[in-house]
Structure 1
Amino acid sequence: MKKLLLFSLLLSVTFSTTLEAQRRKSKAKQTEKTTPKSKKSKAPKYSDFVTKNTKTDEGLFKVHYLKDKYIYEIPKSYLGKEMLLVTRLKDIPSGLGGGYVNAGSKINTQVVVWEHFKNKILLKVKSYNAVANDSLPIFKSVKSNNLEPIIYSFDVKTQNTDSTAVLVDVTKFFSSDVKAISGLPSYFRRNYKVRRLDASRSFINTIKSYPKNIEVVQDFTFDADAPPSNQSTNTITMRINQSMILLPEQPMMPRIYDKRVGYFSVGNVDYSSEALKADDKRYIRRWRLEPKNMEAYKRGELVEPKKPIVYYLDPATPKKLRKFIKQGVDDWAKVFETAGFKNAIMAKMPPTKEEDPEFSMEDIRYSSIRYVASTTRNAMGPSVSDPRSGEIIESDIIWYHNHLRSYRNRYLLETGAANPSARTLDTPAEEIGEMMRMVISHEIGHALGLPHNMAASYAYPVDSLRSGSFTQKYGIAATIMDYARYNYVAQPGDKNIRFVRQLGPYDHYAINWGYRVIPNSNTPEGEVKTLNKWIEDKAGNPIYKFGFQRRGGFDPESQTEDIGNDHVKASSYGLKNLKIVAKNLPNWTSNQTNNYEDLSELYGEMMSVWSRYVGHVVSNVGGVFEYNKKPSQTGAVYIPMSKNKQKESIAWLHKNAFETQNWLLDKNILNKIDEAGYADFMLRYQNRFLSQLINTNKIKRMIDTETLNEKSYTAFEMMRDLRRGIFSEVNITKNLDVNRRNLQKAFIDRIGSLLEDKSAKNSDIISIVKGELSTLRYLVNNASKRGVDTITKYHYKDIVSRIDNFLENKK
Structure 2
Amino acid sequence: MIKKILVLGSLAVLGVGCKSPQPVAQESSKSEKKKSDLKKYSEVITSEAKTDEGLFTTHFVDDKLYFEIPVDLFEKDMLLVSRIAGVPSGFGGGYVNAGSKVNEQVVRWVKRNGNIDMKVISFENQSDEDSPIYKSVQANNFFPILFSSKIETWSEDSTSVVIDASALFEDEVEAINGISSGLRKRYKVKKLDKSRSYIESANAYPENIEIKHVMTYEAETPPERDQAGTISMLLNQSMILLPDDKMQPRLADYRVGWFTIDKYDYDSDELKADDYEIIRRWKLVPKDIEAYKRGELVEPVEPIVYYLDPATPEKWRPYFKQGIEDWNVAFEEAGFKNAIIAKDPPSKEEDPEFSPEDVRYSVVRYVASTTRNAVGPSVSDPRTGEIIESDIIWYHNHLRSYRNRFMIEAGAQNPNARTLNTPEAEIGEMMRMVIAHEVGHALGLPHNMKASSAYPTDSLRSAEFTQKYGLTPSIMDYARVNYVAQPGDEGVRYIRMMGPYDLYAINWGYRYLPEADSPQEEKATLDKWILEKAGDPVYEFGSGYGGADPQSQRESLGDDQVKASEYGIANLKKVVPNLVDWTSKDGFAYDELDEVYRELSYMWRGYLSHVVTNVGGVYETRKTSDQEGVVYEPVPAKIQKEAVEFLNDEAFSTPKWMLNQDILGRVEAPEAIDRIQSIQTGALEDLLEKDRLKRMITNEEVNPESAYSPVDMMADVRKGIFSELYNSRQTDAYRRNLQRSYVDIAAAYLKELDERENDEVLKSDIMALMRGEMEQLKADINRRKNRTNHQLTRFHWNDLLARIDSAILNEV
TM-score for the superposition, normalised by structure 1: 0.90
Relative to structure 1, the CA distance from residue 726 to residue 196 in structure 2 (aligned partners, 3 Å threshold; closer, same or farther) is closer
Give the superposition deviation at 1:412.
Answer: 1.0
Residue 790 (structure 1) aligns with: 791
Partner of 1:99: 94
CA-to-partner distance for each residue in 1:636-655, whole Å, 9 max, x for gaps?
11111111111111112111
Change beyond 3 A, Cα 1:128–1:786? same
Tell me how far apart the structure 2 counterparts of residues 525 and 298 of structure 1 sit (CA, whole Å).
Answer: 20
- Does the CA-based 8 Å contact 1:124-1:149 persist in structure 2? yes
8 Å Cα contact 2:202/2:212 also seen in 1: yes
Equivalent residues in 2 for 1:6-21, closer than 5 Å: none
AA matched with 1:653: L
Contact 1:192 1:227 in 2 (8 A): yes
State the distance in 2 between where 1:575 and 1:49 align.
71
Structure 1 Cα separation of the partners of residues 126 and 690 of structure 2: 40
Does residue 214 (structure 1) correspond to residue 215 (structure 2)? The answer is no
Inter-partner Cα distance in structure 2 for 1:55 and 1:793: 82
Q: 1:181 to 1:365 in 2, by over 3 A?
A: farther
Specify which of 360, 363, 373 is matched with residue 358 of structure 2: 363
Q: Which residue of 1 aligns with 2:594?
A: 600
Matching residue's letter, 1:108: N
Deviations 1:242-266 (A, max 9, x none): 2211111132111111110010100
Preserved CA contact (<8 Å) 1:696 1:759: no
Report the equivalent of 2:445: 450
Q: Distance in 2 between matches of 1:65 and 1:591?
A: 53
Matched, 1:702 2:703: no
State the distance in 1 between where 2:419 and 2:691 align: 43
Q: Which runs of 5+ in 2 are unaligned?
A: 1-34
Matched, 1:635 2:629: yes
Q: Does the Cα contact within 8 Å between 2:373 and 2:394 map onto a contact in 1?
A: yes
Q: Residue 622 of structure 1 contacts residue 698 of structure 1 at CA under 8 Å; is this kept in 2?
A: yes
Q: C-alpha displacement at 1:237, in angstroms?
A: 4.4
**What letter is aligned with 1:279?**
D
SS at match of 2:718: helix
Code of the aligned partner of 2:245: Q
- Of 510, 513, 520, 1:518 maps to 513
Give the deviation of 1:100 after TM superposition: 3.4
Worse overlay, 114-123 or 467-476:
114-123
What does 1:500-539 correspond to in 2, within 5 Å? Answer: 500-539=495-534
2:581 corresponds to 1:587: yes
- Say if 1:750 and 1:206 are closer, same or farther in 2 by CA, change over 3 A: closer
Which aligned pairs between 1:85-484 and structure 2 lie closer than 5 A?
A: 85-161=80-156, 163-229=158-224, 231-484=226-479
Distance verdict in 2 for CA 1:174–1:805, change over 3 Å? closer
SS at match of 1:740: helix
Q: Which structure has the larger Rg?
A: 1
Instruction: Describe the SS at the equivalent of 1:673.
Output: coil
Residues 227/358 of structure 1: CA separation in 2 closer, same or farther (3 Å cut): farther
For 1:422 and 1:649, the matched residues in 2 are separated by 30
> Would you say the 8 A contact 1:243–1:363 is kept in 2?
no
- 1:560 equivalent to 2:554? Answer yes
Give the counterpart of 1:619 among 613, 618, 628. Answer: 613
Distance 1:368 1:223 in 2: 35
CA displacement at 1:48 relative to structure 2: 4.9
SS of equivalent residue, structure 2 residue 379: strand
Superposed CA RMSD? 2.4
Pick from 639, 645, 650: which aligns with 2:639? 645
Go from structure 1 to structure 2 and tell me whether the alpha carbon gap of 1:707 and 1:227 turns closer, same or farther (over 3 Å shift): closer
Letter of the aligned partner of 1:765 in structure 2? I
Aligned 8 A contact 1:695 1:754 in 2: no
Aligned to 2:724: 729
Q: Which amino acid letter does the alignment assign opposite residue 787 of structure 2?
A: R
Q: 2-side partners of 1:200 and 1:761: how far apart? A: 54
Which letter maps to 1:715?
P
Report the Cα offset of residue 560 of structure 1.
1.0
Report matched runs for 1:709-788 at 5 Å: 709-710=703-704, 711-755=706-750, 756=752, 758-788=759-789
The 3 A distance-change label for structure 1 pair 194 and 318 is farther
Describe the SS at the equivalent of 1:662: coil
The answer for the alignment partner of 2:25 in structure 1 is none
| 93 and 728 in structure 1: CA distance in 2 versus 1, 3 angstrom threshold | closer
- Residue 101 of structure 1: CA displacement? 3.4
Superposed displacement of residue 676, structure 1: 2.7
**C-alpha distance 355-203 of structure 1, shift in aligned 2 (>3 A):** farther
Deviations 1:568-616 (A, max 9, x none): 2111122222211122222322387764222222222221122212221
Q: Distance in 1 between matches of 2:662 and 2:720?
A: 30
In 2, Cα distance between the equivalents of 1:720 and 1:629?
36
Shift, 1:395, TM fit: 1.6
Matched residues in 2 for 1:702 and 1:794: separation?
A: 35
* Deviation per residue, 1:66-95 (Å, 9 max, x gap): 566544343333211111111233444444
Counterpart residue identity of residue 520, structure 2: E
TM-score normalised over the length of structure 2: 0.90
1:44 deviates by 4.3
Matched AA of 2:317: R
Report the AA paired with residue 372 of structure 2: R
Query: 1:213, 1:246 within 8 Å by CA — same for their partners in 2?
Result: yes
Q: Which residue identity lines up with residue 394 of structure 1 in the other structure?
A: E
Q: 1:42 to 1:588 in 2, by over 3 A?
A: closer
Change (3 A) 1:693 1:201: closer
Which ranges in structure 1 are unaligned for 5 or more consecutive residues? 1-39
Secondary structure in 1 matching 2:108: strand
Partner of 1:12: none
Deviation at 1:371, TM superposition (A): 1.8
CA contact (8 A) 1:104 1:362 kept: no
C-alpha distance in 1 between matches for 2:63 and 2:734 = 70
Partner of 2:14: none
Using a 3 Å threshold, how does the CA distance of structure 1 residues 52 and 657 change in structure 2: closer, same or farther? closer
Distance 2:336 2:282 in 1: 13
Q: Which amino acid aligns with 1:673?
A: V
Give CA-to-partner distance per residue, 1:712-733, whole Å, 9 cap, x none: 1111111111112212222332
Judging changes above 3 Å, is the alpha-carbon distance between structure 1 residues 683 and 215 closer, same or farther for their aligned structure 2 residues? closer
Aligned-partner Cα distance in 1 for 2:472–2:376 = 20
Q: Which amino acid in structure 1 is aligned with residue 497 of structure 2?
A: Q
1:8-40 deviations in Å (ceiling 9; x for gaps): xxxxxxxxxxxxxxxxxxxxxxxxxxxxxxxx9
Q: What CA distance in whole angstroms lies between the structure 1 residues aligned with 2:445 and 2:235?
A: 28
SS in 1 for 2:390: strand
Q: Which residue of structure 2 lines up, in the alignment, with residue 689 of structure 1? A: 683
